[in-house]
Amino acid sequence: MLLRTAPPSFSPLNPSSSCTTRHSHPKTFLPCATKGSNNRPLTGVVFEPFEEVKKELDLVPTLPQASLARQKYSHDCEATINEQINVEYNVSYVYHAMFAYFDRDNVALKGLAKFFKESSEEEREHAEKLMEYQNKRGGKVKLQSIVMPLSEFDHEEKGDALYAMELALSLEKLTNEKLLNVHSSFVSFMFTLMLVNANSFLRTCCISFDVEAIKKISEYVAQLRRVGKGHGVWHFDQMLLHEEGVAA
Ligand SMILES: [Fe+2]
């Protein structure tokens, strides 16, 4: 603690004073800041914010198109997130096409239609979460083209329900693999706590959902293989129709 003998200009116990606080003990003075105190070396000080912030202050972007929040966020990571947004949108689009197929009057498998509609919305939500993350880190979301999906899902041997579900399983695995690649590209840049947070974001936001979806769709594929193409599919569809939160 620094004890001063010169008349201080400010005292925390008497802010309005000009800092001449002398307590009952005639030799005791309160520590307080004075003009010019920055010029003297302080013992025990490990962080001098106003000194250290100067270089950060010089780095604050002035261009209106530059993010102010961006910090240690590589262009590779930014591009990888944009690619994953595109992957999620593509899968969402395929699921939407499956919803439209199963909702047709001559197909009329309402449970499967509901399942793929909710799955499509969920994949879009994943894309949106990645967009929010991109903006949070000061990156720029760049949406890319999406591919026209199939419109027919019937399959001579498997039938439409099993074929669509196997396709969904493959898409979930593929998306998960691509997300794991995003994860590892972040790991290779992992030198700050913010990037550790990025990985925890990816794990909680998307990877865990995809793993659950893979398990659930695998079970549906197994069940559809048991029931065959006919009446059993109708029962399976009814089960999906009355199940809560069936989305992949
Ligand atoms: Fe996803």
Over the stretch 112-161, which tens digit does the pLDDT of each residue have? 999 999 999 999 999 999 999 999 999 999 999 999 999 999 999 999 99
What is the DSSP annotation of the chain?
-----SPPS-BTTBTTS-S--B-SSTT-B-----TTGGGS--TT----HHHHHHHHHHHS--STTS-SS--S--HHHHHHHHHHHHHHHHHHHHHHHHHHHHTSTTT--HHHHHHHHHHHHHHHHHHHHHHHHHHHTT--------PPPPS----TTTHHHHHHHHHHHHHHHHHHHHHHHHHHHHHHT--SHHHHHHHHHHIIIIIHHHHHHHHHHHHHHHHHHHHTTTHHHHHHHHHHHTSSS---
Distance, CA 135 to ligand 1 centroid (Å)? 19
Distance, CA 151 to ligand 1 centroid (Å)? 21
Distance, CA 80 to ligand 1 centroid (Å)? 15
3-44: per-residue pLDDT in tens?
444 444 434 444 444 444 444 444 444 444 445 555 666 678
Distance, CA 77 to ligand 1 centroid (Å)? 18
What pLDDT score does 134 carry? 95
What pLDDT score does 39 carry? 62
What pLDDT score does 198 carry? 67
Distance, CA 210 to ligand 1 centroid (Å)? 6
Structure tokens that stand for 204 in this block: 């909680």
pLDDT at 74 over 70: yes
What pLDDT score does 210 carry? 79
The whole-angstrom separation of Cα 138 and Cα 132 is 10
Judged by average pLDDT, the poorest of 83-97, 105-119, 202-216 is 202-216
**Is 78 known to sit in a ligand binding site?**
no
172 near 163, Cβ under 8 Å?
A: no
Distance, CA 174 to ligand 1 centroid (Å)? 10
Torsion-angle region of residue 72: left (phi > 0), alpha (psi -120 to 50) or beta? left
Distance, CA 101 to ligand 1 centroid (Å)? 21
CB burial of residue 95 (10 Å; 0-12, 13-18, 19+): buried
**Is 128 known to sit in a ligand binding site?**
no
* pTM, two decimal places: 0.75
**Is 166 known to sit in a ligand binding site?**
no
What pLDDT score does 26 carry? 47
Distance, CA 171 to ligand 1 centroid (Å)? 9
Highest mean pLDDT, choosing among 39-48, 59-68, 158-167: 158-167
Distance, CA 229 to ligand 1 centroid (Å)? 28
> Following CA atoms 162, 165, 171, 173 in sequence, which dihedral angle do they give, to the nearest 10 degrees?
-100
Provide mean pLDDT across the span 89-104: 98
Distance, CA 177 to ligand 1 centroid (Å)? 11
**Is 242 known to sit in a ligand binding site?**
no
Neighbours of ion ligand 1 (CB under 5 A): 88, 123, 126
What pLDDT score does 142 carry? 98
What residue ranges define each of the domains in the chain, with the CATH number in brackets?
Answer: 1-59 (no CATH), 75-241 (1.20.1260.10)
Judged by average pLDDT, the poorest of 7-21, 47-61, 192-206, 209-223 is 7-21
